[in-house]
Amino acid sequence: MTIEAFERTLELAVLLGEEMERRLAADGLTPSRAQVLRELGRRGPLQQRELAGTLAVSARNITGLVDGLAATGFVTREPHPDDRRATLVTLTGRGTAAVRAMEEGRAAAAAALFEGMRPERLAAYAADLDVLLGNLRKA
């Protein structure tokens, strides 16, 4: 049964990843760019080095992500109010709307995925996932 559960977990992960990429692509986003937008939506304007550190990516990688998001109108680079050498990456109206749409999409996807699952089973499933995630983080 261990292998069967592992195989189903892999299948679930792949299907969820494909669905997420499909939904993001419809809005002109990649998972990496969406992650930048979500972080800015959560924390507000940030310097690129702060974004890179938070998302555990290189300075070069975050520059490319922010360049792409700026070119498509999701973010702007604004002067830092306290450090004239620094800039802040800031969500535009389009970026803010995209973050809101992503959150609404996540809620709808979760509702569809867990439809028909009793609350106590869902709570047990979430607890089991915590164990699995803990095991992976220890590895």
Domain that holds residue 20: 2-138
Please report where in the chains the tokens 């592992």 appear, as a residue.
6
Task: Report percent pLDDT > 70 for the chain.
Answer: 100
Distances, alpha carbon 31 to alpha carbons 5, 26, 34, 125, in Å: 26, 12, 5, 25
Give the other-Cβ count within 10 Å of 25's Cβ.
11
The tally of domains found in the chain comes to 1
pTM of the shown model: 0.84
At residue 46, the 3 state secondary structure works out as strand
At residue 76, the 3 state secondary structure works out as strand
47 — alpha (psi -120 to 50), left (phi > 0) or beta?
beta
| Domain CATH code at residue 67 | 1.10.10.10
Q: What is the mean pLDDT of residues 5-32?
A: 93
Q: How confident is the model at residue 139 (pLDDT cuts 50, 70, 90)?
A: confident
Q: What is the mean pLDDT of residues 54-65?
A: 95
